Amino acid sequence: MTDHTHADTLRTPIVAVLGHVDHGKTSLLDTIRGSAVSEGEAGAITQHIGATDIPLDTISGMAGELIDPSDFDLPGLLFIDTPGHHSFSTLRARGGALADIAVLVVDVNDGFQPQTEEAIDILRRTGTPFVVAANKVDTTPGWNPQDGEPIQKSMDAQSERAKSMLDENLYEIIGQLSDAGFSADLYWRVQDFQKNIGVVPLSALTGEGVPDLLTVLMGLSQRFMKEEMAIDVQGPGEGTVLEVKDERGFGATVDTVVYDGVIRNGDQIVVGGQNEPIVTEVRALLRPRPLAEIRTEKEFEKVGEIGAAAGVKIAAPDLDQAMAGAPVRVVRDRTVDEVVEEVKAELAEIEVDTAENGVVVKADTLGSLEAMANALREAEVPILRAEVGDIAPRDIAVAETANQDEHKAILGFNVDLLQNAESDLENADVKLFKNEVIYQLVEDYERYVEEKQRAQQ
Ligand code: GDP
């Protein structure tokens, strides 16, 4: 029987940060975490495990007059710590994206770049609402930094020349968004954030405009996502694996974002594994200690339970085969078999069309494997086999069976060549491509095929 007494509590919206390399994703996350720390929320901000919780109090402290906390009943925002669309696509829940909202970071001087386009495609495909952080406004010639101030206040303090240069860059980005099919405007001119994308000019370096970004994210969630945030807090916990990590004293652990229900110590859980679902029992739920305490105490504190939405490290036997991007489910009110079937069904949703002939694809997470498969489909590159994990001797053997030379190739996204596969690769007629950027990986392979074809003519 399900306990409905705690039903319909609102959980924290989950926010992911995407954008082109070097446009400032990491800096923005650091600034958000950092200003939250200086807001004095000791204990709230911790060394991160996958996600950082910024409570509403902290946001309203940072946003000052921009926000009236009594307008909100959502508890705050949960930022996924790893930036990039690769981690975003890892966050899957039932075939869609797990992140509720995204921040698309665009360097105000650099505008749209290949990974900006990639990120937009992913956001469109998953139907994820987003706001654009037009970053690095402080690099505008003649800019007079106004640390941590709301952006309009900061803009008032700039010279006419700086303002008009910034305006020009901002309108360029708004135009590029429009070319990509999104109607967008500066956030203070947007009436309906469901129809229009808000652009927030900011600087991750000086913190100008960051209060505005948090305010817009909070407003967007409060107005349009309340229904999706209603969860049964006491229901069986559901989450997604962000990362599988060895932790001293605990063995293999999984950093997990719990987006529904509650996980308790001792719970039986099912976790998506590389070969089959792993059925195990929670030995410890770990949260990092507040930064200030880390030097004097052990890094983690054990907690009895964790409710959504939150990041937690789960220690349990047999997690070494767990996969990033895979579901985590607590077995409660149902049989283990039912939950195992559910996890299998969710994993089966990740569709990769394989052909009899094609390349071998390896990626570090299910989400990135799916993104790779999409990119290769668009480039009309057939796939013989696609799997999560590092490149093993078996992959080389499989790639060698391809009957066209150009298909004797392995494309590895964010993975390593295992040591015991090194000599196999040397002795095999197989070409290995490795990269951490999907479009570059595909481009490298396409260039190789062209060269091969030219050599044959
Ligand atoms: P990521 O690859 O998107 O995570 O980008 P990073 O956060 O690593 O930033 C790339 C570079 O841009 C670093 O050298 C940052 O210090 C710099 N940077 C990021 N944000 C800003 C900003 O707002 N202003 C300035 N001047 N530099 C920035």
Q: Is pLDDT above 90 for 365?
A: no
Q: Is pLDDT above 70 for 392?
A: yes
Compute the distance from residue 37 Cα to the ligand 1 centre, in Å: 20
> From the CB of 30, is ligand 1 less than 6 Å away?
no
One-letter amino acid for residue 13 of the chain: P
Contact 200, 274 (CB under 8 A): no
pLDDT of residue 296: 55
- Ligand 1: which of 18, 20, 22, 86 to mutate, judged by most atoms within 8 Å of the beta carbon? 22
Respond yes or no on whether ipTM tops 0.95.
Answer: yes
Contact 170, 199 (CB under 8 A): yes
> From the CB of 25, is ligand 1 less than 6 Å away?
yes
Mean pLDDT, rounded, for 355-362: 90
Confidence label for 48 from pLDDT (cuts 50, 70 and 90): low
C-alpha 97/C-alpha 128 separation (Å) is 7
pLDDT digit string (tens) for 85-143? 655 665 654 445 578 999 999 999 999 998 899 889 888 877 889 999 999 999 999 99
Q: Return the higher-pLDDT residue of 185 and 49.
A: 185
pLDDT of residue 85: 63
Contact 240, 92 (CB under 8 A): yes
How buried is 396 (Cβ within 10 angstroms: 0-12 exposed, 13-18 middle, 19+ buried)?
buried
> From the CB of 22, is ligand 1 less than 6 Å away?
yes
Confidence label for 1 from pLDDT (cuts 50, 70 and 90): very low
pLDDT of residue 370: 82
Q: Whose alpha carbon is nearest atom 9 of ligand 1?
A: 24
Confidence label for 337 from pLDDT (cuts 50, 70 and 90): very high
> From the CB of 201, is ligand 1 less than 6 Å away?
no
C-alpha 135/C-alpha 72 separation (Å) is 27
Q: Whose alpha carbon is nearest atom 17 of ligand 1?
A: 24
Q: Return the higher-pLDDT residue of 90 and 160.
A: 160
Confidence label for 2 from pLDDT (cuts 50, 70 and 90): very low
- Whole-model pTM: value is 0.81
Mean pLDDT, rounded, for 210-230: 91
